[in-house]
Structure formats: C-alpha cells, structure tokens
A and B are shown apart, each in its own frame.
Chain A
Amino acid sequence: EVQLLESGGGLVQPGGSLRLSCAVSGFTISTSAMTWVRQAPGKGLEWVSSLSGGGGDSYYADSVKGRFTISRGNSENTLHLQMNSLRAEDTAVYYCVKVPLVGQLSYYYYGLGVWGQGTAVTVSS
C-alpha cells in the first residue's frame, strides 16, 4: 500500500526557513515523479513544485521559484521541500503527492495520485 507522511511544518518568522519531508512507503521514490501542493487557510489548491522520476528535473510555481527547492533522498525514500525566505503568503497546509503511473512511466504532468495528510506551515511574526 502506498503511503505518504509529511513532517517538518510549524511556525516560522517571515524571512525564515523550513524543510519539509515526506516519508513514503509502498513504492520506490527514486523512480517516481513527485509533487508538492499547498492550500492556504480557507482557500483552494496551489501547485508548488514537482520532481521528475529518475532524473533530477525540477519544476516550480512562479510564486516560489528561487526560494524553494525540491529534492529526494533516495536512501531514505523521502521527498523534501526546502523553503527559504518565507513570506506570510506561504502560510498553508503542504501536501506531498505521488504522481500516477501511465504504463511504466511517471511524468509529473500526469497529475496527482496518492496524497499525504499534509503538514501545516505558518509564517508569522
């Protein structure tokens, strides 16, 4: 069974940093494309970043480009999101999402499969 468990959220001051992690089980993260999605309080969903399967190609929303970095730790089967220069508008629940396979392929633009439960990030002084 595929499972995703996010951690690392919390309260941080504007300009600060946080590193989110997503521990996965039931599949090998090294070959799967993965995505982070966030949801601000009372708002809709926003795509944040994606990482291609296998290779190291990464993709970012304009709102986080240059501040956030997505990566995977293959040995620990974990996805990370390093968030720097945080702003109040980054306050949200952050979800880790596995990209579905189409055949044997996993491209980030295929979209969204299994979601984690989310981890809350609050940026406030």
Chain B
Amino acid sequence: QIVVTQEPSLTVSPGGTVTLTCGSNTGAVTSGNFPNWIQQKPGQPPRALIYTTVNKHSWTPARFSGSLLGGKAALTLSGVQPEDEAEYFCLLYYGGALVFGGGTKLTVL
C-alpha cells in the first residue's frame, strides 16, 4: 500500500518562511510522480496551488513555490501571510493511481 507522508502540523510567524514536505514509502519522490499541492481553508473547497512539481496556476501567489528536496516534494512559502493559515495536501502519481498525503495544518502565529 502506498503511503504519502506529510508533517501533521507546522507553525510559522507572519513574514517568515516555511517548507512543507511530501514523502513516499516507496522511495524518493521524483518529477515522475508529478507532485501537486492543494490548499484548503475551513469550510471552503480545496484550491490547487502547484502542479507537476513546480508549475503555478494563474491564481497562485508568487510567495508559493514547489520543488524537490532531499527525496521529497516540497512546498515553500516565503513571506507568509495570515491568510496562508490552512491545510495543505500534496498529491503524487503512481503509475495509474493518484495518492494524496494526509495533509499539513499550517498555523500562522
């Protein structure tokens, strides 16, 4: 069974920088897993931020960036804003199936 792992929770100060990671129990995450990052705020539908590792949607704020880091997919928020407080999910592709991570609750404090 494929398990995609994320930090359960992280806290960052406004204006700070934080990196969320997305790992896999099958080994290193690569560009072939086409990592995606999705943001969800309470009571709202999810919103896609990053697709195919690094690509931003037209609505994605510039302070969000995707990368591969140490065998994991990573989402970096630079200059965090209070409105970035949300849950963040990663999504990986495994030859025929898409698997979400369990999500990271980001607190801006």
Contacts and interface: CB of A to CB of B under 8 A. Distances in A.
Contacts of B41: none
A85 B55 CA distance: 38
A59 B96 contact: yes
B48 A47 contact: no
Interface string B21-49: 00000000000001110101000011110
Chain B interface size band reads 20 to 34
A68 to B, nearest CB: 14
Nearest to B53: A111
Interface of B: 34-36, 38, 40, 45-48, 51-52, 55, 57, 89, 91, 93, 96-103
Contacts of B99: 47
A112 B40 CA distance: 13
Interface string A25-67: 0000000000101010000111100100000000101100000
Interface residues of A, number: 26
Nearest to B6: A44
A100 B57 contact: yes
A39 B99 CA distance: 13
Contact of A111 (B40, B47, B51, B101): B51
Contacts of A44: 89, 100-103
Contacts of A116: 45
Given A45-B46, A45-B89, A95-B46, A111 B52 contact: yes
A30 to B, nearest CB: 21
B97 A61 contact: yes
Nearest to B40: A45
Nearest to A118: B45
